[in-house]
Amino acid sequence: MITPELIEYIRGEFTKGRTREEVHAELIKNGGWSEADLSEAFRTVVPMQGFVAPNPATQNIMIAPIAKNRSKSKSFWQNSVFIIISLIFLVSWWFYRPQIISFWNSGINTLEELSVNSWNSSVNNLKKISMPSFNFGKIFSTDQIPNNFVVPQNNPIIKPTISVVKDCGIGTAPDLKNPFTYENNAVLNCLGNSALHCEEARVVLKNDLFPTVFQIVRDKNADQDICRFKLSYAEESALIDVTGKKLAGQYVTCPLSLVKELDETKTPPSFGVPNTSDLGKYAGQIYFYGTLGLFIENNVDQNRIQSLGCRGDYISSVIASYQKAQ
């Protein structure tokens, strides 16, 4: 006869992870329990221990018809649901086909419009992209490399030189016979200082007859870096010369080294070295020499003037006007 202690012992051993065979062998060997008592105790702890599996032959006989009937029933319901859904679809199509076709066509048109718009937008964006151009002749040509070329160390970053033109402002054209027009004149002082140090600068001068745009420029296209003055008429100027030619945009430019000061105290008047101590007066001397002094000193000879390194259509205009006035 089994006892509660036996039941608790078996449960405890199962909790520890031991198998039924291990516990059974232990109780037979050391416990003195009979096979009948142990079977009853194991059935109490694990009720399924007493379950007897049915005969496979009998099981197949009983289950097969049931499975077959269930399969037929399932197939019947599946077919019925499919037929019902198909009927609903056909009836809906028959009654609502115009609306469905219209909806379908509008959807296709919308997709086409979106595709076309997207394509056009992509093409326009591509057109806005500026592709860099490369001069491969300069990149790969060795003709431009001097013999004494030295490869720079540590790969220094070479930045392009940007020419900055100083804006000296707006003023009135100087009159060398009137010191008040150039003494302590900030605009002319700025330009005279730029000319003295060969810094690119620009002023606009008020004048009813001569050029109004006065510049100091550096001629980088020549064999040497030459500092020049440039006098030009504004593009909106309405002036014309005695021949009827428009003066708008006309200019004259010469090397600054040609500039001379007119000395009218001598007889006849002569040209000498300009005074650079007074920056305002120096700027006035440059302006006078470019507009009149250049032509007076060189006897209004165009070939001689151009041989000095001067150029510009203002030269031709002055000479044509002078010749017509003779």
- Residues 217/191, Cβ–Cβ less than 8 Å: no
pLDDT higher than 50, residue 195: yes
Report pLDDT for 271: 92
pLDDT higher than 80, residue 184: yes
Report pLDDT for 267: 81
Mean pLDDT comparison of 18-27, 126-135, 141-150, highest-scoring range: 18-27
Mean pLDDT comparison of 29-33, 57-61, 122-126, 202-206, highest-scoring range: 202-206
Preceding amide of 156 cis, omega within 30: no
pLDDT higher than 90, residue 312: yes
How far, in Å, CA of 175 to CA of 209, rounded?
13
Confidence of residue 200 (pLDDT cuts 50, 70, 90): very high
Average pLDDT, the chain: 78
pLDDT higher than 80, residue 217: yes
pLDDT higher than 90, residue 249: yes
Q: Domain spans of the chain?
A: 4-50, 166-325
Does the predicted model carry a pTM greater than 0.75?
no
Q: For 16-25, 109-118, 137-146, 237-246, which range has the lowest pLDDT when averaged over its residues?
A: 137-146
CA 233 distance to own-chain centroid: 39
Report pLDDT for 213: 96
User: Mean per-residue pLDDT for 5-29?
Assistant: 85
Report pLDDT for 13: 86
Task: Give SS3 for 262.
Answer: strand
pLDDT higher than 80, residue 114: no
pLDDT higher than 70, residue 117: no
pLDDT higher than 70, residue 107: no
pLDDT for 49-105, tens place per residue?
444 444 544 444 444 444 455 556 667 777 778 888 888 877 776 766 676 666 666
The CA-based angle 177-183-185, given to 5 degrees, is 120
State the Rg of the chain over Cα: 55
Report pLDDT for 2: 79
pLDDT for 250-305, tens place per residue?
999 999 999 999 888 888 888 999 989 999 999 999 999 999 999 999 999 999 99
How far, in Å, CA of 224 to CA of 219, rounded?
8
pLDDT higher than 90, residue 171: yes
pLDDT higher than 60, residue 132: no
Confidence of residue 45 (pLDDT cuts 50, 70, 90): confident
Q: For 27-31, 76-80, 153-157, 295-299, which range has the lowest pLDDT when averaged over its residues?
A: 153-157
How far, in Å, CA of 50 to CA of 163, rounded?
106
pLDDT higher than 50, residue 134: no
Backbone angles phi, psi at 308, to 5 degrees: -80, -5
Report pLDDT for 71: 58
Report pLDDT for 56: 47
% of the chain with per-residue pLDDT over 70: 69
Report pLDDT for 138: 47
How far, in Å, CA of 207 to CA of 245, rounded?
19
Which residue reads 């056909």 in tokens? 90
